[in-house]
């Protein structure tokens, strides 16, 4: 799993993952508003949405 190309993968792709952090915050705020302040539902769906977004970005970067 950790070969010679792993360092280069992390070196060149960290800005993509860093750019998703504000997106995750906005998604959390939007879902909290959609669920009318229900913290448990908004937290669960926010975590699921962020994991899906990060997974899609990872799959896109892996090509």
Domain assignment present for residue 31? The answer is yes
Residues counted in the chain: 63
Phi, psi of 38 (to 5 degrees): -75, 105
Domain assignment present for residue 9? The answer is no
- Tell how far CA 60 is from the center of its chain: 13
Domain assignment present for residue 50? The answer is yes
Domain assignment present for residue 26? The answer is yes
Which among 2-11, 41-50, 54-63 has the top mean pLDDT?
Answer: 41-50
Residue 10: predicted pLDDT = 76
Whole-prediction pTM:
0.74
Domain hosting 32: range is 19-62
**Mean pLDDT on 28-39:** 92
Domain assignment present for residue 5? The answer is no
Domain assignment present for residue 30? The answer is yes
Neighbours of 41 (CB within 10 A): 14
CA triplet 49, 54, 60: central angle to 5 degrees?
Answer: 125
Q: What is the pLDDT of residues 1-32, one digit of tens each?
A: 567 777 777 777 888 888 889 999 999 999 99
Residue 1: predicted pLDDT = 59
Residue 2: predicted pLDDT = 65
Domain assignment present for residue 24? The answer is yes
Task: Tally the domains of the chain.
Answer: 1
């Amino acid at each position: 799993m950790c070969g010679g190309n792993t360092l280069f993968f992390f070196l060149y792709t960290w800005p993509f993952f860093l750019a998703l952090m504000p997106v995750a915050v906005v998604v959390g705020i939007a879902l909290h508003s959609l669920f009318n302040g229900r913290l448990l539902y908004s937290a669960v769906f926010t975590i699921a949405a962020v994991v899906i977004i990060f997974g899609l970005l990872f799959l896109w970067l892996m090509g």
